[in-house]
Amino acid sequence: MPKPSICVYCGSRRGRHPAYMTEAAALGTGLAQRRWRLVYGAGDVGLMGAVARAAQDAGGETFGVIPQHLVDWEVGKTDLTRYVVTETMHERKKVMFMNCNAVVVLPGGAGSLDELFEVLTWRQLGLHDKPIYLVNTKGYWDPLIALLQHVVYCDFADASLLDFITVTRTVDDTFDLLTKVVPQPD
């Protein structure tokens, strides 16, 4: 990896609460300030666009990966430091994950959940040990956290599943933890 990189999964929509966009922008700015590269889905809309624009505005490096069929739908952000178009969603997720040191998940929809659950499953299976952070802006992820606890309670997963995700309240809280595990650039 050329420099420490954080993979961000988040919505291609703005969401109902303004705090979602505010936190997305704070994440992009904070990544750039720490000289960490943003790795994300290359969209120029919703939270995805907010993270990328904030990172760029703060002088950060951006690496976007988008499958061909989403280039028009998510309005592919082509002015990134690196812009990769893949053939499939699966290839997109693999390229994003292979090019990061950690994963941060902001509010999002089915796509964000898909990405989260894939890396969570890989972690559960011992295929990686990268940290996964769930930014619980305004309690957005509370129902998901309850579901994961329910899965463990009903004995469909070992309690260690809950240890593979670190839940934070804000992007600032997330950065406090990330600085302890992500290497600082030279």
Whole-number percent of the chain with pLDDT over 70: 98
Is residue 74 predicted with pLDDT exceeding 80?
A: no
3-46 pLDDT, tens digit per residue, is 899 999 999 999 999 999 999 999 999 999 999 999 999 999 99
Q: What is the largest CA-CA distance in the chain?
A: 47
Q: What is the pLDDT of residues 102-140, one digit of tens each?
A: 999 999 999 999 999 999 999 999 999 999 999 999 999
Write the CA distances from 106 to 45, 69, 87, 115, 118, integer angstroms: 14, 23, 25, 12, 16
Q: Which CATH number fits domain 5-178: 3.40.309.10, 3.40.50.450, 3.40.50.410, 3.40.228.10?
A: 3.40.50.450
Token pair 């950060």 is found at 60
